[in-house]
Chains A and B, each alone.
Chain A
Amino acid sequence: AQSVTQPDIHITVSEGASLELRCNYSYGATPYLFWYVQSPGQGLQLLLKYFSGDTLVQGIKGFEAEFKRSQSSFNLRKPSVHWSDAAEYFCAVGSYGNKLVFGAGTILRVKS
């Protein structure tokens, strides 16, 4: 069965510092991988996705993620965090019919 693990429940970084959120997945075939962001009271917004091709994927708001098949990972990165990036981040893997399996999420706090 497909599964997604986000090892970090909470992460705190200083504004302007770099960020890496970890995601590991379990999937039997080539996965479709996604990162979503959820701000309080708002719906999920897609940051970026990987379907195939270049393993380094660029997304919105300056985020990027790298697909590493050998490590079953799809970590999210940003070189310089802004206070507005504080939110909850979800990694997800797509399966048959495109239903998504989500991780438990990582809450990002940004220190000024």
Chain B
Amino acid sequence: GAGVSQTPSNKVTEKGKYVELRCDPISGHTALYWYRQSLGQGPEFLIYFQGTGAADDSGLPNDRFFAVRPEGSVSTLKIQRTERGDSAVYLCASSLGRDTEQFFGPGTRLTVL
């Protein structure tokens, strides 16, 4: 079956611009996670959705970052007023529910010039 997909695969933007990153989870997975992976580091947790609601957004670095999952499937990570330090690979994962295996997408590489 289809895995987790993320679009775009690459995004280049200028400092100060707004970007949206999309994640399509595996069909039927109720849990969805966003992580950020900076160069030379492991992924860092950003936010976790159970269904439509954000169950844990403790990893969002500041209020420029926001994520939604309005119908409990596709999720969009939104970054306002991008900064060069936001450059990273943004990973999405989904799972059947809590305490089950997370399946990761290929990521979106964001470059802020």
Contact = CB atoms under 8 A, between A and B. Distances in A.
B3 to A, nearest CB: 8
Interface of A: 4, 32, 36, 41-46, 49, 51, 90, 92, 94, 96-105
Sorting the interface of chain B by its residue count into under 10, 10 to 19, 20 to 34 or 35 or more gives: 20 to 34
Interface in B19-74: 31, 33, 35, 40-45, 48, 50, 55-56, 59
Given A42-B106, A98-B95, A98-B102, A104 B56 contact: no
A55 to B, nearest CB: 19
A90 B43 contact: yes
Contacts of A100: 33, 35, 43, 45, 102
Given A94-B99, A98-B98, 9 more contacts: A42-B106, A43-B3, A43-B104, A43-B105, A43-B107, A46-B102, A99-B56, A100-B43, A102-B42
